[in-house]
Chain A
Amino acid sequence: MVLKYIVKRVAFIIVALFFVSLITFILVKSAPGSYIETERLLSQNITDITVPPEVKAAWEKAYQLDKPEWQQFLIFLSNAARFEFGPSFQYPSTTIEKIIMRTFPISFRLAVMAIGLALVIGIPLGIIAAFKRNTVIDRIATLVSMIGTSLPNYVIAVFLIYILALKLHLVPSIGWGEPKNYVLPVLSLAIAPIGSITRYMRASLIETLNKEYIRVAWAKGGGFRQVVLKHALRNSLIPLITVVGPQLAYLTVGTVFVENLFNIPGLGKFYASAAIYRDYPMVMGTTVFFATIVMFTNLIVDIIYGILDPRIRKHSMLEG
């Protein structure tokens, strides 16, 4: 049954998350520097980073850092399972889960908008490239998608700020809260998925158009609308989901640079500052949260894929 399959996958995800937690914990524990020292250095500009031992002891006790490390790990696990990470070092008056709940939607919205834009541009571009194979249009599309996928999004962001904000004065380069503030970050994030979606769409459509059943559809008297839009496009869009789903997850996670560059109060910005300040509870909580998002997106993608492809749909039901 489908249910059995989902249960199996979820169990696998839980095991994977355990290892993600363990590895993050070990890395965090073995990384040099500690929060109270870094905080003195960065925020208070004190170069002498030695903290009075009694202050440090009290602080460690408050965060249960005085316990043996295996206990700390177990505490973290049981907290994570309940999605209660407790306060972070940087923000002792609130909890990490509250910060995540407040900032994650901002990152997610950015990612969704970027993917949406990438689909709207990438799919038609891929179709055109597939039809105008080896023409100038195709070459341009290939070039655009190569640039998009090879340049990191912060480089693209800097370039876009220069062109659209500084030279053309079309949009503000900084600020948050108004729709126009979304333009630059969304564009910066969208370029890479536009590239990969265009390329994938082109390859997938060309492959589908070479299928025997497409020739049959032409032989039945179909035109562009019937053969390409109904028979070919549908079948080449199904595998696209396997690209778009993970892209969405990685974008949500990968907004870190863009959020810092544009000073957007999303989770990525908090994640970056947590790493700089050695705010380990925040780093761990966010890492596990991101890992969960990525893995569940992949699961959802596979389920949708199964729903769209009748062969998989019917088979997984038969398997019982």
Chain B
Amino acid sequence: MEYLLEIKNLKTHFNTKEGIVKAVNGISYGLKKGETVSIVGESGSGKSVSVLSIMRLLPPYAKINGEIIFKGENLLTYDDKKMRKIRGNNISMIFQDPMSSLNPTIKIGQQIMEPLLWHHKVSKNEARHKTIQILTEVGIPSAKERFHQYPFEFSGGMRQRVMIAMALISEPDLLIADEPTTSLDVTVQAQILQLIRKIQEKRGTSVILITHNLAVATMVSDYIIVMYGGRIVEKATTEEFLKKPLHPYTLGLLNSIPILKSKKSLNTIPGQPPNLRELEEVGCPFAKRCGKKMSRCEEENPPRIELSDTHIVYCWLYE
């Protein structure tokens, strides 16, 4: 099957006063229609920047290189006007903090129907009708009354439902959710994830889910991508990932998750995340913290090892 989204050698660097921040350093992956991929990795590994590059929601001093093929066209060749037609229409995004993601002075209903009004020729009435329908669909009771309320009248979980409704109203092909549940209570987290899963199955939407939480990733996704220092270190189906994790960094991550481990105490990966300003162009970014480091790890880029069609690891250990 054709890829809906194919990312080829994506590099995103920030030209700051203090130097170049190499946030994303040549990542590639493909996503088919209806698939969910989770991107996991420590803070600062470039997860958010990689998806913001797809949306082109980065400041002007961000330099994006590579290819982002969406429905057969390279989005990086799009001008701002063409890009606007993609955002909120073909690709929608949900952010981490539902408390600050809604405009405090505009009614919820109004905010949800904006993507519809901005991208399609629909009447206000149609838009309102559809908004109430989708509010109900995302599990907001008495949607008709809720339509006219303001964000401060909603709880965190309810606001994230509103954000999901807003992201889905124009029926996008791709939904990007950047840590959509991080700031929510554990019970609400599960509900929101189930909701995303349900809607995505019903509509055949593809999803990129960014999360810190490996348990969340394994629960909802078809594929898992592990990022470190702006690079992909391992990519696998969820099944392969659980059965046969390979990269030392992946193993470290799995070791630090209490749910997936029996009763032993938590092991965090020793050492610090890499400084993205001083990141070398060659060598494995994880080498400095890797317990299985070999001399070539810092001198040559790790090879791309295909263990199956779907399981790829970038590491000299598996050569």
Chain B residues bordering chain A, tally (CB within 8 A): 28
When distances are taken between beta carbons in the complex, the residues of chain B under 8 Å from A234 are 105
User: Does A308 belong to the interface (CB within 8 Å)?
Assistant: yes
When distances are taken between beta carbons in the complex, the residues of chain B under 8 Å from A62 are none
With A211-B100, A213-B100, A226-B114 already in contact, the answer to whether A221 and B86 are too (CB < 8 A) is yes
Tell me how far the C-beta of B226 lies from the nearest C-beta in chain A, rounded to whole angstroms.
25
With A215-B95, A310-B150 already in contact, the answer to whether A221 and B103 are too (CB < 8 A) is no
Cβ contact within 8 Å between A235 and B104: yes
Cα distance A310–B88 in the bound complex, in angstroms:
26
Contact with B along A297-315 (1 / 0, CB 8 A): 0000000000011110010
User: Does B221 belong to the interface (CB within 8 Å)?
Assistant: no
Cβ contact within 8 Å between B101 and A223: no
When distances are taken between beta carbons in the complex, the residues of chain B under 8 Å from A311 are 104, 150, 152
Cβ contact within 8 Å between A221 and B84: yes
When distances are taken between beta carbons in the complex, the residues of chain A under 8 Å from B144 are none
Among B57, B89, B92, B106, contact of A218 (Cβ-Cβ < 8 Å): B57
With A220-B115, A221-B87 already in contact, the answer to whether A309 and B105 are too (CB < 8 A) is yes
User: Does A217 belong to the interface (CB within 8 Å)?
Assistant: yes
When distances are taken between beta carbons in the complex, the residues of chain A under 8 Å from B102 are 213, 216
Contact with B along A195-237 (1 / 0, CB 8 A): 0000000000000000111011111111100100001001100
Contact with A along B89-131 (1 / 0, CB 8 A): 1001101010011111110000000110011000000000000
Cβ contact within 8 Å between A217 and B104: no
With A212-B97, A220-B115, A222-B118 already in contact, the answer to whether A310 and B87 are too (CB < 8 A) is no
Tell me how far the C-beta of A262 lies from the nearest C-beta in chain B, rounded to whole angstroms.
41
User: Does A99 belong to the interface (CB within 8 Å)?
Assistant: no
Cβ contact within 8 Å between B95 and A310: no
Contact with B along A221-262 (1 / 0, CB 8 A): 111001000010011001000000000000000000000000
Output the residue of B85, B92, B93, B103 with the most chain A CB within 10 A. B103
User: Does B306 belong to the interface (CB within 8 Å)?
Assistant: no
Among B89, B100, B106, contact of A212 (Cβ-Cβ < 8 Å): B100
Among B57, B103, B150, contact of A314 (Cβ-Cβ < 8 Å): B150
Output the residue of B85, B104, B163, B166 with the most chain A CB within 10 A. B104
**Interface size class for chain A?**
20 to 34
When distances are taken between beta carbons in the complex, the residues of chain A under 8 Å from B95 are 212, 215-216, 219
When distances are taken between beta carbons in the complex, the residues of chain A under 8 Å from B114 are 217, 220, 222, 226
Among B88, B100, B106, contact of A220 (Cβ-Cβ < 8 Å): B88
Tell me how far the C-beta of B102 lies from the nearest C-beta in chain A, rounded to whole angstroms.
6
Cβ contact within 8 Å between B118 and A235: no
Among B92, B97, B119, contact of A219 (Cβ-Cβ < 8 Å): B92
Cβ contact within 8 Å between B103 and A220: no
Cα distance A211–B85 in the bound complex, in angstroms:
22
Among A211, A212, A216, A221, contact of B119 (Cβ-Cβ < 8 Å): A221
User: Does B214 belong to the interface (CB within 8 Å)?
Assistant: no
Cα distance A220–B175 in the bound complex, in angstroms:
12
Contact with A along B63-94 (1 / 0, CB 8 A): 00000000000000000000011111100110
Cα distance A12–B192 in the bound complex, in angstroms:
49
User: Does B300 belong to the interface (CB within 8 Å)?
Assistant: no
In the complex, residue of chain A having the shortest beta-carbon distance to the beta carbon of B107: A310
Cβ contact within 8 Å between A213 and B89: no
In the complex, residue of chain A having the shortest beta-carbon distance to the beta carbon of B87: A221
Contact with A along B187-228 (1 / 0, CB 8 A): 000000000000000000000000000000000000000000
Tell me how far the C-beta of A160 lies from the nearest C-beta in chain B, rounded to whole angstroms.
39
Cα distance A217–B110 in the bound complex, in angstroms:
12
Output the residue of A213, A222, A223 with the most chain B CB within 10 A. A213
Tell me how far the C-beta of A224 lies from the nearest C-beta in chain B, rounded to whole angstroms.
10
Give A170-217 interface residues, CB cut-off 8 Å to B.
211-213, 215-217
In the complex, residue of chain A having the shortest beta-carbon distance to the beta carbon of B84: A221
When distances are taken between beta carbons in the complex, the residues of chain A under 8 Å from B163 are 216
User: Does B55 belong to the interface (CB within 8 Å)?
Assistant: yes
In the complex, residue of chain A having the shortest beta-carbon distance to the beta carbon of B97: A212
Taking A221-B84, A238-B105, A310-B104 as known contacts, 15 extra A-B pairs with beta carbons closer than 8 A to each other, sorted by chain A number, are A213-B103, A215-B57, A216-B95, A216-B163, A219-B92, A221-B85, A221-B89, A222-B114, A231-B103, A235-B103, A310-B105, A310-B150, A311-B152, A314-B150, A314-B153
Using CB atoms and an 8 Å cutoff, list the residues of chain A in contact with chain B: 211-213, 215-223, 226, 231, 234-235, 238, 308-311, 314
Can you report 29 residue pairs joining A to B where beta carbons are below 8 Å apart? A212-B101, A215-B95, A216-B95, A216-B102, A216-B166, A218-B57, A219-B87, A219-B92, A220-B88, A220-B92, A220-B114, A220-B115, A220-B166, A221-B86, A221-B88, A221-B118, A221-B119, A222-B84, A222-B88, A222-B114, A223-B84, A226-B118, A231-B106, A234-B105, A235-B103, A310-B105, A310-B150, A311-B104, A314-B153
Shortest beta-carbon contacts, A-B, top 5? A221-B88, A220-B88, A212-B100, A221-B87, A310-B150
Using CB atoms and an 8 Å cutoff, list the residues of chain B in contact with chain A: 55, 57, 84-89, 92-93, 95, 97, 100-106, 114-115, 118-119, 150, 152-153, 163, 166
